[in-house]
Amino acid sequence: MKNHHKAERVLFTKAMKRTHTILIPDMLPVHFEIIRHVFAEYGYKTEILHNEGREVINTGLKYVHNDTCYPALLVIGQFISALQSGKYDLDHIALMITQTGGGCRASNYIYLLRKALKKAGLEKIPVISLNTSGLESNPGFHLTIPMLVKMMAALVYGDELMLLGNQVRPYEKTPGSADACVQDWTKRISEMLNHRRGFTLPEMRRMFQEIARDFAAIPQERCAKIRVGVVGEIYVKFSPLGNNGLEKFLLEQGCEVMLPGVMGFVMYALSNQEIDRKLYGGKAIMATVSNVALRYLEAVERAMLDAIRQQGCFTAPAPFARLEKLGERVINRGSKMGEGWLLTAETLELVENGYPNVICAQPFGCLPNHINGRGMMNRIKELAPQANIVAIDYDSGAASVNQENRIKLMLSSAKRSGDPVHNVPETQLSHNVEHEYAAT
Ligand code: SF4
């Protein structure tokens, strides 16, 4: 598998590192903006794409088959639409796409992208694979351990900003103050990482506290809001392009939104190496290395959750160790294609942590998400009868009005059942979480 088709593909060379701008598709606007500065520190010039709308979908439909996973269609559509816009010097452009290395089709988007580029007459554009599984490599791009550590820091900061922004935005007295705080911190963290600061555990611990304090200080008026959690396939869960601006829509409907962070997915991917070793004959060395990384990230996560909890006015999500236990109540951890058991665990965690209304955002026809999301709903409702879950399919043919109507139906059922809530009571789960968390 290693360096697959190296002889046939256009490589990103050492010289290109100086001359080319690398385009990155949009998925997590805040997180990716911070990561961009980590790339800059290592000499890579990058740009996050923000083109959106029907034009991107139509371009995707033109260059990839319409039964392709919807996230792939959007990512490829966004790339080609940008390249065809006339905005870029095509002799000095490269593209970057992730390869997860898991069993799902996400490892193969890169081949679809190259096929689409060829069809569009853009095959000379080099495509860089961002992966940690030893899949494709390029002479001009190296993912080093220090770089990975900083990228992880960027993701955790992004998670904290997203989490706190979502918990303040519906209650802010001055419209836009939560967004201003997110922007201000995005800038400050980016500058810090650019100057090789803010990525060690003691530094992060201090920063997490400062960030949480700043959000808590925003003048707010706590009023009745329906609390809605969002889970799902990673791209359609986070990307406004993938989910037709779901967060914004929920905010307009008077909801408080909770999106479990992206670090959960990173930790899930790491923990899967141990599952691979136990169940599927995976390599012991991979499991050992992943376990070391996981222990480190758990310490970082603990520091962030402590900072959020200490303010006394925010809901801190359960730590990853708790998600593992919740998932095991419902589904075997061997279910690890796509978002796998994590999706089930996050749903259960949201319900028990005061967000009983959950939207499961899934690409149409995505088998792993239908199994771990829609397929687990009945069992979740047995365990947590207060759960009010709706699965929403996203694809190029789905009308957003239908999606919104189904969500409105879920919200009206939430209102009927006694939501909105003013202050979520300390649930039994919260006590359990505190207890187990303290023990880790
Ligand atoms: S998780 Fe679903 S959408 Fe993502 S690659 Fe797998 S099948 Fe496609």
What's the structural domain count of the chain?
Answer: 3
Structural domain range at position 188: 144-223+262-316
Cα–Cα distance measured from residue 166 to residue 168, given in angstroms and rounded to the nearest whole number:
6
Maximum Cα–Cα distance across the chain: 62
Nearest C-alpha neighbor of 50 from the set 69, 73, 34, 33:
33
Locate the ligand 1 atom nearest the alpha carbon of residue 109 and give its number: 5
pLDDT band at 419 (very low <50, low <70, confident <90, very high): low
Tell how far the Cα of 237 is from the centroid of ligand 1, in angstroms. Answer: 12
Q: Is 278 in the same domain as 367?
A: no
Percent of residues, the chain, with pLDDT higher than 90: 82
* Pair 173, 219: CB distance under 8 Å: yes
pLDDT average, residue stretch 156-163: 98
* Pair 257, 164: CB distance under 8 Å: no
235 token code pair:
């791209």
> Which DSSP category does 195 fall into?
T
DSSP string, 308-345: HHHTSSSPPPPPHHHHHHHHHTTS-TT--STTHHHHHH
Residue 368 lies in a domain: yes
Residue 379 lies in a domain: yes
Q: Is 285 in the same domain as 174?
A: yes
pLDDT for 334: 94
426 token code pair:
């300390």
Burial state string for 409-432 with b = 16 or more CB within 10 A and e = fewer than 16: ebbeebeeeebbbeeeeeeebbee
pLDDT for 389: 97
Residue 180 lies in a domain: yes
Q: Is 39 in the same domain as 128?
A: yes
- How does pLDDT run across 68-80, given as a tens digit for each residue? 899 999 999 999 9
Tell how far the Cα of 215 is from the centroid of ligand 1, in angstroms. Answer: 35
Q: Is 164 in the pocket of ligand 1 (CB under 6 A)?
A: no
Residue 7 lies in a domain: no
Domain end: 142, 163, 188, which one? 142
Q: Is 101 in the same domain as 196?
A: no
Q: Is 105 in the same domain as 170?
A: no
Q: Return the top range by mean pLDDT from 69-73, 209-213, 277-281.
A: 209-213
Percent of residues, the chain, with pLDDT higher than 70: 93
Q: Is 302 in the same domain as 414?
A: no
pLDDT at 437 over 70: no
pLDDT band at 6 (very low <50, low <70, confident <90, very high): low
CA torsion through residues 240, 76, 394, 334, sign: negative
Tell how far the Cα of 173 is from the centroid of ligand 1, in angstroms. Answer: 40
Domain end: 316, 338, 358, which one? 316
Cα–Cα distance measured from residue 342 to residue 3, given in angstroms and rounded to the nearest whole number:
30
pLDDT at 2 over 60: no
- How does pLDDT run across 300-350, given as a tens digit for each residue? 999 999 999 999 999 999 999 999 999 999 999 999 998 999 999 999 999
Kindly provide the residue ranges of all beta strands, DSSP E only, lying in 219-270, ordered along the sequence: 226-232, 255-258
Q: Is 338 in the pocket of ligand 1 (CB under 6 A)?
A: yes
Q: Is 123 in the same domain as 173?
A: no
Question: Which amino acid residue places its CA nearest to atom 1 of ligand 1?
Answer: 338
Locate the ligand 1 atom nearest the alpha carbon of residue 235 and give its number: 4
Q: Given phi > 0 = left and psi -120 to 50 = alpha, else beta, which region is 176?
A: left
Residue with tokens 């376990």: 291
Q: Is 363 in the pocket of ligand 1 (CB under 6 A)?
A: yes
CA torsion through residues 155, 156, 161, 167, sign: positive
Q: Is 280 in the same domain as 209?
A: yes
pLDDT average, residue stretch 19-28: 96
297 token code pair:
């990230």
Q: Is 233 in the pocket of ligand 1 (CB under 6 A)?
A: yes
* Pair 358, 347: CB distance under 8 Å: yes
Burial state string for 321-330 with b = 16 or more CB within 10 A and e = fewer than 16: bbbbebbeeb
Tell how far the Cα of 275 is from the centroid of ligand 1, in angstroms. Answer: 20
Q: Is 288 in the same domain as 336?
A: no
Locate the ligand 1 atom nearest the alpha carbon of residue 338 and give its number: 1
Q: Is 104 in the same domain as 209?
A: no
Q: Is the peptide bond before 175 cis (omega within 30 degrees of 0)?
A: no
Residue 2 lies in a domain: no
pLDDT band at 7 (very low <50, low <70, confident <90, very high): low
* Pair 165, 49: CB distance under 8 Å: no
Residue 123 lies in a domain: yes
* Pair 258, 350: CB distance under 8 Å: yes
CA 56 to chain centre: 20
CATH no. for residue 338? 3.40.50
pLDDT average, residue stretch 402-407: 95
Q: Is 25 in the same domain as 108?
A: yes
pLDDT average, residue stretch 155-171: 98
Residue 8 lies in a domain: no
Residue 231 lies in a domain: yes
Which of 70, 105, 393 best tests ligand 1's pocket when mutated (most atoms within 8 Å of CB)? Answer: 105
* Pair 372, 355: CB distance under 8 Å: no
Q: Is 371 in the pocket of ligand 1 (CB under 6 A)?
A: no
Question: Which amino acid residue places its CA nearest to atom 7 of ligand 1?
Answer: 366
Locate the ligand 1 atom nearest the alpha carbon of residue 104 and give its number: 6
- How does pLDDT run across 219-239, given as a tens digit for each residue? 999 898 999 999 999 999 999
Q: Is 346 in the same domain as 428?
A: yes
